[in-house]
Amino acid sequence: MKGWTRYGWVVLIAVIFQNCTDSQASNKQKLSDMNSEKKDNNPVYSRSDSSQVNLSDDQWKKILPNDVYNIARQKGTERPWTSKYEGSHEIGTYYCAVCGNPLFRSDTKFESGCGWPSFYEPISKTSIIYAQDNSYGMERNEVICGRCKSHLGHVFNDGPPPTGLRYCINGVVLDFEKAKDAEKRYDAENQKHS
């Protein structure tokens, strides 16, 4: 019986390890998909087009993954400390996962301890817009994508210098491109046009 119990534990550990490995490979593929210039299933996603995007709720529901739709269009919130970007120290640019609008540079990201990716300054004054949010009996300022008007998170007045602001952003509605990847893509595009 002891041999069978030991064998059972080995099999269980192997299955768990395989599931973790499969999950990591799946997450790497998802991350790779999220970092592309265009998204096949999302015709409005572009990192270079700055025109306003106005789609109906039904249209958004058809092109966005459920988790992104829930946060971006229904003003949901992801669980704290679940975002792959919360503890990231990669150098690059954060984009809106809904439309590709550039939002934050990594050098404005800081460890706030709140459980969500936090930044002290957006890329530009037009990259995000603000709205008063009095939900749940609180007075907060909602942060919305300046291009597609998707909910991103909230901004608070307890951030570091130079702005003193903390943009607390749901990682689900962020895409990220490493600076080196952007440079390679830029060089490749320039060679095509030369």
Tokens 């119990």 -> residue: 5
Question: pLDDT, tens digit, for every residue of 123-177?
Answer: 999 999 999 999 989 999 999 999 999 999 999 999 999 999 999 999 999 999 9
Share of the chain above pLDDT 70, in %: 77
Catalytic residue among 96, 99, 145, 168: 168
**Would you call 145 a catalytic residue per the annotation?**
no
> For residues 30 and 68, what is the distance between their CA atoms, to the nearest angstrom?
13
End-to-end Cα distance, the chain: 73
Question: pLDDT, tens digit, for every residue of 54-70?
Answer: 999 999 999 999 999 99
CA atoms within 13 A on the CB side of 24: 6
Tokens 């990259």 -> residue: 127
Q: Of 16-20, 48-52, 81-85, give the lowest mean pLDDT range.
A: 16-20
Maximal CA-CA distance, the chain: 73
CA nearest neighbour of 126 among 149, 104, 100, 147? 147
Q: Which residue has the higher pLDDT, 104 or 35?
A: 104
Residues 121 and 101: beta-carbon distance below 8 Å: no
> For residues 24 and 104, what is the distance between their CA atoms, to the nearest angstrom?
26
Q: Which helix (H) or strand (E) holds 2?
A: helix 2-34
Contacts of 193 (CB under 8 A, 6+ apart): none
